[in-house]
Chain A
């Protein structure tokens, strides 16, 4: 569960951070292409399976059985994936693949985030499984120029496709098909997702980087902000980054190692990390501590990854001028508080959950209590089968989705409101609309609505919080 979370969140945030790309609007008829693809992919799939069966025999066994086994079928699956993805935009994909693996390695140095560099290192050296893939695929697929298409390339291809179409659903469709056909297991799906997510992230940061270079010439503002970054945001951030990426190293390794091994490493690393870096996030630290490392190591990993990603994105936004450094810092400070609040709310929510059982409407909320990674994964598999399109992926898991999707909708609505008010007031020759007045009004209305049963207490709190953070 943890890694799908990681992957999905990275995907979400990564997709959101892309500043210029005019993403094509997802058409309403996502079902049709899916069906066509299935029809058109069927025959080649069968052929590929036959080919893959033949290849299986040839593969040498890596030292560890478990990851080895997953590697075998994983390579097969990658072949299948290739068949599927080749159906659409063949040339485009191939071109991008030829350029991107090389570009990525070059661009890594350019990007300010040290994290990316580490990821490349992870990808290359610590993932023993993947190393084998590089070597184990002699009879594999070929690119236009005859060089063999490696597993990395396939992952790259998928990531590129997702990036271009701005459609996470691409990946989901592929994975769901594979899962349905029983060609890959859940854990393999997780691994694949991680890899795709990493590559996608590189892609996006590279694109964003190019865009930022364009920006730097006409706008002096970006430069000033870029200059400011080291003063304010970078210093605490960098320290945290290092800590997190250390943790991250171990995270990704533990993907392929057995659970006990991973646990040992994890607990060791986290012990070091927590003291230094997380001092900036007392609530988060408390939260981490409260998680039982033994039982919920995955959750802990995920949390740290998410936190790391968040910080990264704030940095990126500051860099690109979306927000000012002060806002970035205050946002992160608020984040910590929000975590505290949210945790408290979730605790309360569980208590008041019974209220929701009044309504016969099916409620995802009741799923929360019985979470387990297996159930979640099964749920997610189902989701993949039915997901149409998601520029905002907000439903890997039942309960978190509802407030998440709802909060996002509310956020969007509030944003539009503020925008309109600003514009409207400008026309009326007012310098700035009265934010505090607005805030009071909203607070008052939210409370009134809660009393009347129009809003949940939680929603009202969320709305008030959003307004108070403006």
Chain B
């Protein structure tokens, strides 16, 4: 054993690293060596972005580095732990990290839900670093985004699966190894199937939103749910997300709800009430990704059926039916609109290709972020100015309502057009307003709701007034 000598060396090395800081003022390229191997990387080619696969420790370090560089606008937190105990790390970027500012919409990116679909994981790490760098450089688009949005980035929802997939020897990774979590559960089939319920409600009447009742029974006490699934469900319930994307691999398309066919068949276009805005959102991603948007791109595999793909987008069920997926769960249990983006024909491509995937996707990732500032947004308050949480905002002609968050704030994504918005809440009188919605930015519409009791009081007063007037006139 090297013993004391070895330790002494290590001690000095640590000290030497601090020396590196002093010298760092001159360092042009904080580069380091890397090979295709998993070990020492930091082949930093651009501003601290190292285009190589990050295992769990490196993932953590990368996020910590972003936080250290941008402490004023970032925060790392964890939504829970994977089955094998890895933290499900999220980095949040906003001008007031850790705080929901009333009126500021919340966005999330989730990657690597299938552990062997690795590109999303890496892209999100690069994105976090990129946003931090660009913010500090004063990039207007990024600064605006960070000041007006709360961006949550979860590079990996399935870190256990990733480790399994990444541990495979050789370049060629198996199509299935590492896909599911450590328990063998496919997380994207593990969410409560709310599609079934909404399809029934469509036919027989019933609510068209927030269909997850009894969180405790259906989630916490449900032994069939993976810890990762449970963690995400709680995350979705806790934070009033508005827009989201779920990154996958194995094909190249932006997929939108519904994922499950109404009839139960293998494929069939199954549109959701917000089909128009979803198509627009999906296109906002795909159109900035050249291979994804390329109409002449051959399918990933020779016999693939990509007949449902239009402009790099597809309805989920038209492509193939997926029950229990996270995308539809978002739409039907909360106010969050989520699409699924398939980033690469190869699920776990060679490390050398990561840089080009970044180049292909970085504009899409930013463009999709900007979509959150569309449609209509505002506050629902009572006549005293107090926020009304959980008020319902419905749009005439769209059979999907959303609700206001704790501060009474709401965000309703809509394609350009003329709409009638109605805000209502139990014990209050509903109010309808007409709105003309452009492509962007979002139009501000606030509602001041009068409660029933207030109205009764008002009516009583009116009556008294009338009686008084009558009696004076008629000399009672």
Report whether A392 and B28 are in contact in the complex, using a CB–CB cutoff of 8 Å. no
Cβ < 8 Å to A, chain B residues 65-93: 65-72, 76-78, 81, 84-87, 89
A323 and B13 contacting across the interface, CB-CB below 8 Å: no
Instruction: State how many angstroms separate the Cβ of B349 from the closest Cβ of chain A.
Output: 16
List of B residues within 8 angstroms of A389 by Cβ: 31, 33-34, 43
Q: Inside 8 A of A335's CB, which chain B residues have their CB?
A: 15, 18-19
Q: Do A339 and B1 touch across chains, with their CB atoms under 8 A apart?
A: no
A409 near B65 with CB under 8 A, answer: yes
**Residue A151 at the B interface, CB < 8 A?**
no
Query: Cβ of B17 and Cβ of A411 under 8 Å apart?
Result: yes
A287 touches B8 (CB 8 A): yes
Please state if B87 and A453 are interface contacts (CB–CB under 8 Å).
yes
In the complex, the answer to whether B14 meets A403 with C-beta atoms within 8 Å is: yes
Q: Which residue of A lies closest to B137 (CB)?
A: A420
Binds A, one of B54-62, B273-281, B370-378, B383-391: B54-62
The answer to whether residues A360 and B10 also contact, given A442-B71, A454-B87 and a CB cut-off of 8 A, is no
Q: A303-B9, A463-B68 are in contact. Are A313 and B19 (CB under 8 A)?
A: yes
C-beta contact mask, B32-48 vs A, less than 8 Å → 1, else 0? Answer: 11111111101101001
Interface stretch, picked from A140-148, A191-199, A230-238, A362-370, is A362-370
Also in contact, A361 and B55, with CB within 8 A (given A28-B45, A292-B3, A400-B10): yes
Q: How far is the CA of A393 from the CA of B51 in the complex (A)?
A: 18
Segment touching B, from A10-18, A125-133, A253-261: A10-18
Contact assessment for B70 and A417 in the assembled complex, using a CB-CB cutoff below 8 Å: yes
- Tell me, yes or no, whether A215 is within 8 Å of chain B by CB: no
| Cβ-defined partner of A359 (8 Å) among B31, B34, B56, B78 | B56
Contact at B1–A370, with CB atoms within 8 Å? yes
B167 within 8 A of A: yes
Closest to B86 in A: A359
Collect the chain A residues with CB atoms within 8 Å of residue B20's CB: 12, 16, 392, 408, 411
Q: A368-B6, A386-B37, A405-B40 are in contact. Are A410 and B68 (CB under 8 A)?
A: yes
* Known contacts A323-B22, A413-B66, A417-B71, A453 near B78 by CB under 8 Å: yes
A22, A358, A401: the one contacting B40 at CB < 8 Å is: A401
Partner among B30, B55, B60, B84 whose Cβ is within 8 Å of the Cβ of A412: B30
| CB nearest to B28 among chain A residues | A23
Q: Would you call A310 an interface residue if the criterion is a C-beta within 8 Å of the partner chain's C-beta atoms? A: yes
| Distance from A322 Cβ to chain B, minimum over Cβ atoms (Å) | 6
B65 near A413 with CB under 8 A, answer yes
- A441 touching B17 by the CB < 8 A rule? no
Residue-by-residue, is A215-255 near B (CB-CB < 8 Å gives 1, otherwise 0)?
00000000000000000000000000000000000000000
Question: Chain A contact residues: over half helix, strand or loop, or mixed?
Answer: helix
Q: Shortest Cβ distance from A328 into chain B, in angstroms?
A: 9
A323-339 interface bits toward B, Cβ cutoff 8 Å, 1 = contact, 0 = none: 10001000100110011
Say whether B24 faces chain A, with CB atoms less than 8 Å apart: yes
A12-B16 Cα distance, complex, nearest whole Å: 10
Q: Which residues of chain B (380-403) have a CB below 8 Å from chain A?
A: none
B231 to chain A, nearest CB (A): 13
Given A361, A408, A453, which contacts B17 in the complex, CB threshold below 8 Å? Answer: A408
Asked if B453 lies at the interface with its beta carbon under 8 angstroms from chain A, I say no
Q: In the complex, what distance in Å separates the CA atom of A44 from the CA atom of B311?
A: 56
Inter-chain contact A338/B167, CB cutoff 8 Å: no
Residues on A with C-beta less than 8 A from B15 are 310, 335, 338-339, 342
- In which size bucket is the chain B interface? 35 or more
**Considering only CB atoms, which chain A residue lies closest to B32 in the complex?**
A392
Contact between chains at B64 and A459 (CB < 8 Å): yes
A300 touches B5 (CB 8 A): yes
Query: Residues of B contacting A341 with CB < 8 Å?
Result: 11
Residues of B within 8 A of A177 (CB): none
A410 to B68, CA, bound (A): 7
Contact in complex: B18, A339 (CB < 8 Å): no
B464 within 8 Å of A (CB atoms): no
Residue numbers in B under 8 Å from A299 (CB-CB) = 2, 4-6, 8-9
- With the chains together, A263 CA to B57 CA distance in Å? 41
- The smallest C-beta distance from A205 to any residue of chain B, in angstroms, reads 14
Q: Which of B22, B70, B72 contacts A322 (CB 8 A)?
A: B22
Q: Which residues of A contact B42 (CB under 8 A)?
A: 392, 394, 405, 409
How far is it, in angstroms, between the C-alpha of A288 and the C-alpha of B63 when the chains are bound?
37
How far apart are A156's CB and chain B's nearest CB, in angstroms? Answer: 24
- Let me know if B2 and A16 touch, CB within 8 A: no
* Chain A minimum-CB-distance residue to B2: A371
Q: Which of A25, A342, A390 has the most CB of B within 10 A?
A: A342
Contact partners of A392 in chain B: CB under 8 A:
20, 27, 30-32, 42
By CB atoms of chain B within 10 A, which of A19, A291, A310, A361 has the most?
A: A361
Are A469 and B77 in touch, CB under 8 angstroms?
no
Q: How far is the CB of B44 from chain A (nearest CB, A)?
A: 9
In the complex, whether B147 has a CB less than 8 A from a CB of chain A is no
Query: A388-B43, A395-B39 known; A291 and B5 CB under 8 Å?
Result: yes
**B12–A391 contact, CB under 8 A?**
no
B12 touches A303 (CB 8 A): yes
Q: Is A347 an interface residue (CB 8 A)?
A: yes
Do residues B43 and A391 form an inter-chain contact, with CB atoms below 8 A?
A: no
B26 interface residue (CB < 8 Å to A):
yes
Q: Are B78 and A361 in contact (CB under 8 A)?
A: no
Residue of A nearest to B7 (CB): A346
- Nearest A residue (CB) for B352: A28
A415→B24 contact, CB < 8 A: yes
B136 in the interface (beta carbon within 8 A): yes
**Known contacts A410-B65, A454-B60; is A390 also within 8 Å of B12 by CB?**
no
A residues less than 8 Å from B99 (CB atoms): none
Q: A394-B40, A395-B40, A412-B30 are in contact. Are A404 and B17 (CB under 8 A)?
A: yes
Q: Say yes or no: is A106 at the interface (Cβ < 8 Å to chain B).
A: no
Q: B75 — nearest CB in chain A belongs to which residue? A: A445
Q: Is B294 an interface residue (CB 8 A)?
A: no
Contact call B33/A372, Cβ cutoff below 8 A: no
Smallest Cβ distance from B10 to chain A, in angstroms?
5
Asked if A303 meets B8 with Cβ closer than 8 Å, knowing A310-B15, A359-B56, the reply is yes
Are A339 and B43 neighbours in the complex by a CB distance under 8 Å?
A: no
| Residue B355 is within 8 A (CB to CB) of chain A in the complex | yes
Q: A338-B18, A362-B167 are in contact. List 17 more A-B contacts (CB 8 A).
A: A12-B20, A13-B16, A292-B3, A335-B19, A343-B7, A358-B85, A361-B163, A372-B1, A389-B43, A404-B14, A409-B42, A411-B24, A413-B48, A413-B67, A459-B64, A462-B14, A466-B18
Query: Can you list 27 A-B pairs, Cβ within 8 angstroms, ordered by A?
Result: A9-B16, A17-B23, A25-B28, A292-B3, A314-B19, A317-B23, A322-B26, A339-B11, A360-B163, A360-B167, A362-B167, A389-B31, A391-B28, A393-B33, A394-B40, A395-B32, A400-B13, A404-B17, A405-B42, A408-B17, A409-B30, A409-B48, A412-B69, A413-B67, A414-B21, A414-B69, A421-B72
Which are the 4 A-B pairs with shortest beta-carbon distances?
A: A299-B5, A296-B5, A342-B11, A386-B35
